[in-house]
Amino acid sequence: MVKLLGLFLMFISAYCLEQGGLDLGLVQAFFIGLFMFFSEALIAHVSFVQREKVRAKYRRR
C-alpha cells in the first residue's frame, strides 16, 4: 500500500510540475513519493535482519 501511495504522489507531483513550473513543494512531494516507493523494501529487509538476529540469539541457548 505504501508503494502505491508513493507512486501516486510521484505521478501527481510530476504532472503538477509539468503544468505549473518548478515549485519547491512539488519537488519535495516527488522525492517523498520516491522514498515511499523504495522504503517498503528497505523496511522489510531491516525487519527481516532483526528477526533473524533474535532467532540466532535464542538458537544459541
Can you read off the three cell numbers belonging to residue 34? 520516491
Can you read off the three cell numbers belonging to residue 31? 522525492
Question: Tens digit of pLDDT for each residue in 41-54?
Answer: 888 888 899 999 99
Count the Cβ atoms, other than its own, within 10 Å of residue 57: 9
Mean pLDDT of the chain: 86
Can you read off the three cell numbers belonging to residue 16? 503538477
Quick one: pLDDT at residue 26?
A: 86
